[in-house]
Structure 1
Amino acid sequence: MLEKLIIGKTLRVPASTGAAGDGTPVARQLDAALLDAGFSASQPLLEHVGALAPAPAMDLAATIVSAVRELVGDHVQHNAYFIGFPHDVPDTVEFWTQRLRAAVLAGGGTASDAQLRDAVVSGGVNLLDLPGYGTYQHTYADLLAAHDALIASAGDRLTLLRLGDTAEVEATRLYLAMAGSTTPLGEADLALLSQLAVACVDGAQPAEIPVREHRAVLNGVRLVLGRPLVGVDTTTDVLRLACHVSGGDGSLATPTRFRSFRRPERRILLAALDKVVGASPAKLGDVTRHAEPWKRLGERLHPHEHQQWPHAREVFAVARGERRVPNLAGRAEAALRAGAIAPAASVLSAAPGLLLRSADRLLRLAPASERATVVEAVTGALGSASARVLCSLREHVGNRLTPASARMYANRSRRAWIGPDERPPLPAGLVAELSALLDAQIGARLPQPQHPLLVDPDVLDVALPLSGKASAGGFAVLPRGSRAPVSGELLRFFTYWRQTSRRTDFDLSVLLLDEGFHTAGQVSYTNYHHDGIVHSGDITDAPDGATEFIDVPLTVSAPYVVPQVYIYSGESFDEVAESMFGYQTRTLQQRGAPFDARTVRVRSDLRGQGRIALPMVFANGERGWQAVWLHLYMQGRPNFNRVEENMFTTADRVRAVLERRYLTVSYLIDLWRARTEVTTWDGRLPDEPVTFIGIEAPGDLPDGSETYTLDRLSELIPG
């Protein structure tokens, strides 16, 4: 249902067009139900529900409650293996010995305690064969009955829901914002964009679609529905579109198996190719970069059957090698191999974005006699490249004064590799010069706010969302490198998964690191206790869903706490029916069930390539405990992944993210200070309209105010 998606994305509730009446009792019930989930309804929203007839009021209330419960992970039952968790969790070896004793007694045998413990410690025990191991021994109702109700705390989360316009207006507004975003969307948002594109296909369209992957999503809908394509101006746009509608990777990072296309679809694709190449034959140079996909696509499109589009046939001739067309990247690479750095920069000047992405390499390789020419070429490209590229380069050069302890490579699927940083640092004077030029160019493109800026200090450490690929879907999820303050006295991590068709065992673990990023301990299914940290017990099968918890008191001695999710066996993160990670914060005195939506601070989808997920790290420093987003996956082994076997690789990746200086919202705020009034939000409401930038907007800002919260932070990055 589109309304639920809009609520989950924007925290705005589309207004119902149902009949008027007295829905006051429903509004009261809605208010109570939302509070139980850690949400509250604004007064206009409650008044709107109360003014509806009972039936539409109930429909709207049910939609709202369902949407917010899914948002924080409260739509499933989070049972724990040990019913008394976090209390009454036994010593790990003692528990295994108990299970082994039950197995021996069931077989009519006898064994001493010493023999059983030796069998456990030696590793000669298959845990999955032990009676009662890895499966719930009680129902979810039993768990709730064993725990008192949650003791409310002033620090519990309360997220405000606002009343929006009608579903049609809200869908159009969100569609235009997402389709016209200057930064690439993540997988979850691309899926939402596709649904919005279907609903808005005949309505208002964005004036510009800067991100080509977004064009592929929109044109995929338009191709299937027989509408004219939009924004196709390169041959690669057509290839992306064909991959997307075939259920493949529109980013072209992984191979796609093309589907059969209907004759009208083949005509649309070939006509688009013919138009692009006919207008600019030089764009045939892009074809060789993806020659193999083009060959396979040609087998599906049958271009030889359509003589009316000769330029389209040239695309496949180039892909087959029957015609050679030099491309810009190839010419630049040839110049670099020949040591002609300045000429290579001159060639790349025709593609400002590509030149700026290559700037570090050019500046490192350029001899002193050519460096000024390269700097001049880079400077000349600043005015033509997108602001996202400028921001990416600004972040990059800010990290090039000294070599990194390790160089991390993260791809679009958030898979991470680590290698040594063998690049020589860039000269400090050059870094300062480039930084100043970039600051001036980015600052000049920032829009002038209509009202004074009011800034929530908690948003200042949020990394600029330069790519949705460095994030994930969920609730209160921030881009990689973002930092958020942690309140409360206790962290409770949780992971939930539900397998699709075969037995699947996810394992929630915690790795502790010291100041030098060396291992200081771990908690997992092999070690239930360490330094006050407690594991809830191992679940090894999840046909109806399963949850594992780990409690971490913030008095823990290690400065870095790294929660991880390992796939021990079974389906991958992309194959399971559902999987998530999140954390709650509580006081040490708070009781209640292991999971309570009111204490959930973050819930993140676990969808990625790899068998090990590193969603975030918690760091204790001068500013107290902070949550730092990682959004990384490691390949791991096909089965039997364990925290003990990945301590060094995990530590390297954590260190690489923590030591990197990310471009944050505070960077843009500092640029704005030069030309507009900026005030820090202290909880007091302003008297006049403001432009508010923060994690969550206050409830009663003056009329005419504009808000930029988590769902709109990408709009702060200019085009």
Structure 2
Amino acid sequence: MIDRLEPLVIRHTFRVPLPATPVGEGATAARQFDAVLLSVGFKLSADLLERLSGLSEETVVGIAVRTLGTVRELVGDHVQHNAYFFDFPANVPDTVDFWMSCVAEAIQDKETPASTLKHLRNGVVNLLSLPTYGRYQHTYAELLAAQDELIAAAGDRLTVLHAGGELADELTTLYLALAGSTTPLGEEHRHDLLALAERCADGPQPEEIPVRENRALVNQARLKVGSELLLDTVTDVLRLACALSDGDVTLVEPTRFRSLSRPVRRALLAALDSVVAASPAKLADVGVRREAWKRLGERLHPHEYPRWPYAAEVFAVARGELKAPSFDSRVEELLAADDLLGAVELLKSAPGKLFRALDRLLRTALTQEERDAVVAAAELVVPEVSGRVVLSVREHLHNRARETGELRVFVNRRGRAWVTDDERSAVGPVERERLIGALDDETRRRLPSPERLLVDPEVLDVALPLSGKATAAGLGVLPRGSLSMIEGELLRFFVYWKESAQRTDFDLSALMLNADYSTNTWLSYTSLTEVEGEHSGDIVEAPEGASEFINLRLGAVRGAFVVPQVNIFAGEGFEEVEESFFGFMLREGEQRGRPFEPRTVRMKSELRGAGRVALPLVFLRGDDGGWRAKWLHLYLKGSPSANRVEENRVTVANLLRGIVEREQLTVRHLVELMSGEGATVTLWDGEGVPEGGPVTYIGLRRPDELPAGSRVVTSENLRDLIPA
């Protein structure tokens, strides 16, 4: 178990756990480890190199083997990235010429099926039926032999690994951080939390677990070891039941409940009985998820346990035998009766719901008295609202200053996006500014007051991670809406996928748009070469895994936007394939090398979303001619099959307009609030070790040296900035 959890520490913290072993002579092995790490874009910090050198050689080798496997997977170097065209990006043919060569080879090939030859004689060309189309014509080893090795450049990525403590201590610290997160976690992080909770359930616990989804996973582990469950609503029990059935603890997707053992059934029913007995009003939450409760009742058999009558009431409400109007229905009744003030008064007892309804309430208000009542209620209850909701509403109100008639983008918890016209009436500027002031004051009150704040300028435009669902697992990945600079002359996208059970064809494309979001051109399997760059060739099946690449010369790009996308042409979805991920590399103009070089990878993110078209990020040309990436992590529904960049470019353009023109709340906002409390804020480029005691450091990467006792916030734990 311990060895299995070690990669979690490295992935989440870039710290290498070190054992408390006798002093040894590991200096030579440690230097060799550092040299091998450089080939994949990582290196040991000075402190880590020194501490490894003091361990036994055998211990260092074991750490090196495990760590190398973890970081290679992080960057996408754990698989073989073959390209269809042997010497890509050189000598990529014209699309039509390439297709015609495949036809000619099919005619000459004695192995070509008769049905294919018949179609060709009749003038019908099905590319998938041509023997040489879309299937590798050379091995990965042959590709490597034909390509030059990468010549190192100053701009290559270098990710530093730091020294950690003993593995048990590192796992406990990571568990406390994930379990106590103030924002919801992404899917991969939830899996990691569950694995950690199973080990740490009977050890130190966070003071509070504010996110209910996290609490369900912790409760699942606590139930196994017999610890007290953390439950105070009936929905907490439902989430726990979903977790026990390997279902969706977010309650977005329906869970197929498993048969549960008698001890587990008794534990769940006892918990339900206790919650309702303490507060019968909580029965009102049952109706919101009536069907899920009915399905769960079929597994729990509450009629067999008359000693828990309050638990039986939960299922009576679900079946409609007992009335328990939900809180939301009571609010709707008041609004339907034009009793806005009554609805506001009721919502004051549920501050989170009040804040989520603020926009609607302000638009519904007909008089200044009603608008003032809405704002006053928000000002009164804001101390009771979670920090992420406060910041989410702050961002929302800031964007409501835009004129009506703009595009409105919707993104659900699984990254599925769609766009429509914003037909809402405006929110009054007086009320909007008053609310923004109250929200900023409350955020400032909750933020720490560091005396010395060091900030990496690159982190200022990173969007606040108000939900882990707005990002993806991987390396160098930032939350949706973040902006980051792109420095390099050659930009290369890559996608890798490996099918599970049926032939699966992913297509990598890049759409180039003008400043008005009209289409300029694109690169895809239907357009292998353009002024901007080259496509590596279409691969139409991936039983052993497959890769596609797009090489772009940024100086030659026409237009203002580059939108890489992954279209599913056939087969399994992003959540069905065995593995799939997207990323990009940056290279200097004369820097050659193989199609995939781990040292040049700037970002690699998992593709695990609902939809048939993935939009990981967009590249924007600035007024100065430089390029920046804006992170999207979005998925379009697309068609069941044959998705192509040509068919969805209008939808992508509309969605992009809504995303690009929306302003995100960034780290800059929190830094400005903290600096207003008398803190000394220094924009630090990492040169020179700061003197004068501990600091609070906020940046994309952890510096090699900081004063002892310093607090460090990087992209890996950026959620720690969100106040509780």
Aligned partners of 2:553 and 2:45: how far apart in 1?
A: 34
Q: Which residue of 2 is the match for residue 589 of structure 1? A: 590
The residue that corresponds to 1:310 in the other structure is: 309
Residue 654 (str. 1) matches residue 680 (str. 2): no
Distance in 1, matches of 2:405 and 2:612, equals: 26
Report the AA paired with residue 708 of structure 1. V
Task: Specify the code of the residue in structure 1 equivalent to 2:468.
Answer: G
Q: Give the structure-2-normalised TM-score.
A: 0.96
Contact kept in structure 2, 1:172 and 1:200, CA below 8 Å: yes
Q: Equivalences for 1:254-333 in 2 at 5 Å? A: 254-333=253-332
Match of 1:31 in 2: 34
Distance in 1, Cα, partners of 2:387 & 2:516: 36
Distance 2:59 2:628 in 1: 43
Q: Measure the CA separation in 2 of the matches of 1:541 and 1:577.
A: 13
Describe how 1:226-245 pairs up with structure 2 within 5 A: 226-230=226-230, 232-245=231-244
Which residue is equivalent to 2:406? 405
Which of residues 3, 27, 42 is equivalent to 2:45?
42
1:572-611 correspondence to structure 2 within 5 Å: 572-611=573-612
- How far residue 566 of structure 1 moved from its aligned partner, in angstroms, is 0.8
1:161-180 aligned at under 5 Å gives the runs: 161-180=161-180
Using the TM superposition, give the Cα deviation of residue 338 of structure 1 relative to its aligned residue in structure 2, in angstroms: 2.0
Using the alignment, how far apart are the partners of 1:20 and 1:569 within structure 2? 57
Aligned to 2:217: 217
Query: Aligned AA for 2:339?
Result: A
Q: Deviations over 1:126-163 (max 9, x none)?
A: 11111211111111111111111112111111111000
Q: What does residue 677 of structure 1 align with?
A: 680
- Measured after TM superposition, the shift of residue 48 of structure 1 is 2.2
Task: Verify the 8 A CA contact 2:520 2:558 in the aligned structure 1.
Answer: no
Count residues in correspondence.
Answer: 709
| 1:448-479 residue CA offsets vs partner (Å, 9 max, x unmatched) | 22x40000000000000000011110001111
- CA gap of 1:571–1:429, structure 2 versus 1, over 3 A, is same
1:70 pairs, out of 67, 70, 73, with 73
- Aligned CA distance change for structure 1 residues 666 and 533 (closer, same or farther; 3 Å): same
User: Equivalent residue for 2:706?
Assistant: 701
Letter in 2 for 1:23: G
User: Secondary structure at 1:630's aligned position in 2?
Assistant: strand
Report what 1:59 is aligned to: 62
Q: Which residue of 2 aligns with 1:687?
A: 691
Structure 1 residue matching 2:185: 3-state secondary structure? coil
Q: Please give the per-residue CA displacement for 1:83-115, whole angstroms capped at 9, x wherever unaligned.
A: 111111000110000001111222599xxxxxx
| Superposition pairs of residues 33-432 of structure 1, within 5 angstroms | 33-106=36-109, 124-230=124-230, 232-368=231-367, 369-402=369-402, 403=404, 405-432=406-433
Q: CA deviation at 1:599?
A: 0.4
Is the CA contact 1:19–1:56 (under 8 Å) kept in the aligned structure 2?
no
What does the per-residue CA deviation read over 1:268-296, in whole Å, with 9 as the maximum and x for residues that have no partner? 10111011001000000000001111011
Contact persistence 2:272–2:311 (CA under 8 A): yes
Q: Please say if residues 371 and 431 of structure 2, whose CA atoms lie closer than 8 Å, have aligned partners that are also in contact.
A: no
Deviation at 1:18, TM superposition (A): 4.1
SS in 1 for 2:682: strand
* Maintained 8 Å contact 1:329/1:348: no
Instruction: Supply the distance in 2 between the matched residues of 1:657 and 1:90 (Cα, whole angstroms).
Output: 35
Check whether the contact 1:630–1:654 (CA below 8 A) recurs between aligned residues.
no
Q: Retained in 2: the 8 A contact 1:404–1:656? A: no
Identity value in percent: 53
Alignment check: 8 A CA contact 2:493 2:564 kept: yes
CA distance in 1, matches of 2:505, 2:268: 44
Counterpart residue identity of residue 543, structure 1: P
Question: What CA distance in whole angstroms lies between the structure 1 residues aligned with 2:589 and 2:299?
Answer: 63
Report what 2:456 is aligned to.
456
Change (3 A) 1:237 1:404: farther
Aligned 1:552-631 pairs, distance under 5 A: 552-555=552-555, 556-622=557-623, 624-631=626-633
What is the Cα deviation at residue 19 of structure 1? 4.4
How far, CA to CA, are the matches of 2:407 and 2:623 in structure 1? Answer: 24
State the distance in 2 between where 1:64 and 1:108 align.
Answer: 47
Q: 1:119 offset after TM fit, Å?
A: 7.5
Counterpart CA distance in 2 for 1:622 and 1:668 is 26
Structure 2 SS opposite 1:557: coil
- Per-residue CA deviations over 1:480-523 (Å, capped at 9, x if unaligned) read 00000001111100000111122111110011111111111111
Cα distance, 1:123–1:404 mapped onto 2, change above 3 Å: farther
Q: How much has 1:337 moved relative to structure 2?
A: 1.8
- Please, what TM-score do these two structures have when normalized by structure 1? 0.97
Contact preservation (8 Å) 1:407, 1:421? yes
Shift of 1:26: 1.2
Please tell me the residue identity of whatever aligns with 2:680.
E
Which deviates the most, 263-272 or 50-59?
50-59
Aligned with 2:637 (options 635, 638, 643): 635
Secondary structure at 1:382 match in 2: helix
Q: Is the contact made by 2:474 and 2:606 (CA closer than 8 Å) also made in structure 1?
A: yes
SS at match of 2:265: helix
Deviations along 1:50-103, one digit per CA (max 9) or x if unpaired, are: 222222211111111111111111111111110111111000110000001111
Per the TM alignment, residue 682 of structure 1 is displaced from its structure 2 partner at its CA by 2.7
CA distance in 1, matches of 2:479, 2:558: 27
Once the two structures are superposed, residues 362-407 of structure 1 have per-residue CA deviations (whole angstroms, 9 ceiling, x without a partner) of 0001112411111111221211111111000000000101236311
**Residues 569-627 of structure 1, C-alpha deviation per residue, up to 9 Å, x if partnerless?**
11111111111000000012001101111100000000111111100000011362101
- Name the structure 2 match of 1:113: none
Please give the secondary structure, in 2, of the residue aligned with 1:290: helix
Gaps of 5+ in 2: none
Counterpart Cα distance in 2 of 1:541 and 1:18: 48
* RMSD across aligned positions (CA): 1.6
For 1:124 and 1:680, the matched residues in 2 are separated by 63
Report if the CA contact (8 A) 2:283-2:317 is conserved. yes
Per mean C-alpha deviation after superposition, the further-off stretch among 622-631 and 468-477 is 622-631
Q: Tell me the secondary structure at the aligned position of residue 410 of structure 2.
A: strand
User: What is the CA–CA distance in structure 1 between the aligned matches of 2:410 and 2:120, rounded to whole Å?
Assistant: 42
